[in-house]
Structure 1
Amino acid sequence: MNNVKRLEILERLRSENPNPQTELEWSTPFELLIAVLLSAQATDVSVNKATRKLYPVANTPQSILDLGVDGLKTYIKTIGLFNTKAENVIKTCRMLIDLHDGEIPEDQDALEALPGVGHKTANVVLNTAFGWPTIAVDTHIYRVSNRTKFAMGKTVNDVEKKLLKVVPKEFKLDVHHWLILHGRYTCIARKPRCGSCMIEDLCEFKEKTED
């Protein structure tokens, strides 16, 4: 795909949704971090249902630490992999208190050092909470980028590097939200809804559908 097409795609996505937001519910960087950590292999809807009950009771590293692993599990047991996630959240809260005075570090390496926080999660936090022009590539972005040929790569890291290279600076802050939402609701995995896609004429996916 050439840069003229890419620019037109980005401009259309921006026109449709000029201020895209994560669908996870949060009010502080810590709440966002925990929500993203919990969202691995789970839906945002399921995470929001759990955090709506959890955060009024505990929404700081110390208050979640005070719940303990078993106490935390009672709030997140409806989320996939909740046992492992509970362990990681508690360990992360301890590290935040011990190493960062209970604050979320605005630093890639420090975030990735937290249990259960990988490169993608750190990118989401830096982008959404702190306004960094990072691009967190999940399965939706990987699929959309390759299917449309906007930014092709064999791994999520390859796609991230390509996106960082080809997306102009003015779009970098928002592009991962646009692509996630596009993959979640239009360019879906099994049968993309090409007929209702605003960028269908620019997309280079050969096996387009009429839906």
Structure 2
Amino acid sequence: MNRDKRQQIFERLREDNPNPQTELEYSSPFELLIAVLLSAQATDVGVNKATRKLYPVANTPQAILDLGLDKLKFYIKTIGLFNTKAENVMKTCAMLIEKHDGEVPNNREDLEKLPGVGRKTANVVLNTAFRQPAMAVDTHIFRVSNRTGIAPGKNVLEVEQRLLRLVPKEFLLDAHHWLILHGRYVCKARKPQCGSCRIEDLCEFKQKTE
């Protein structure tokens, strides 16, 4: 795919959604970090249902530690892998207090040292909470990047690095959200909705659907 096509794709995505947001609900970097931690192999809808009850009760590292492991599990028990996630959340809260004065660090190295935080989670926090150019490649972004030809790659890291290099700079901060939303609602895994897709004429997917 050439540079002009990429430029046009992101111009259209921006035109349709000038201010794209994550679908996870949060009001601070800490709330976002915990929501992303909980979202692994779970839906944003499911995470939001749990955090709507949890955050009014505990939405700081100290408040969650004070809540205790069993009560935390009670609030997030509807989310997959909640036992492991609860333990990681507690350890993360303890580390934030011990090493970062209760604040979420705004750099990859420190974020990735937090229990349960991998590269993808760190990228979401860096991009969404701190507005740094980072690309959290989930299944949606991986699929859209390869299927359209925007930034094909054999693995998640390859796609991430190619997106950071190939997405025009003016779109870099919001590209992560546009691509996720496009993959979630239009360029779906089993049946992409090519007929109603805004970028169908620019996309290089060969098996287009009606």
TM range (shorter): over 0.9
Show structure 2 runs of 5+ residues with no match. none
Aligned to 1:69: 69
Q: RMSD across aligned C-alpha pairs, in angstroms? A: 0.6
> Would you say 1:23 and 2:23 are equivalent positions?
yes
Task: After superposition, give the CA deviation of every residue in 1:121-150 in whole Å (9 maximum; x if it has no partner).
Answer: 111111111110111111100000000111
* TM-score (structure 1 length as normaliser): 0.98
Aligned to 1:78: 78
Asked whether the 8 Å contact 2:20–2:177 carries over to 1, the reply is yes
Query: Once the 2 structures are TM-superposed, how far is the Cα of residue 92 of structure 1 from its aligned partner?
Result: 0.2
CA distance in 2, matches of 1:131, 1:2: 27
Aligned residue for 2:88? Answer: 88
- Post-superposition, which runs of at least 4 consecutive aligned residues in structure 1 deviate over 3 A? none
In 2, Cα distance between equivalents of 1:38 and 1:159: 24
Using the size of structure 2 for normalisation, the TM-score is 0.99
The 2-side partners of 1:52 and 1:31 are apart by 11
Could you say which residue in structure 2 is the equivalent of 1:150? 150
Q: Percent same amino acid at aligned positions? A: 77
User: Please, which runs of 5 or more residues in structure 1 have no aligned partner?
Assistant: none
| Alignment partner, residue 177 of structure 2 | 177
2:113 maps to 1:113: yes
Amino acid at match of 1:49: K
Quote the Cα distance in structure 1 between the aligned partners of 2:52 and 2:82.
16
Partner of 1:37: 37
Contact 2:6 2:168 in 1 (8 A): no
Question: How much does 1:6 deviate?
Answer: 0.6
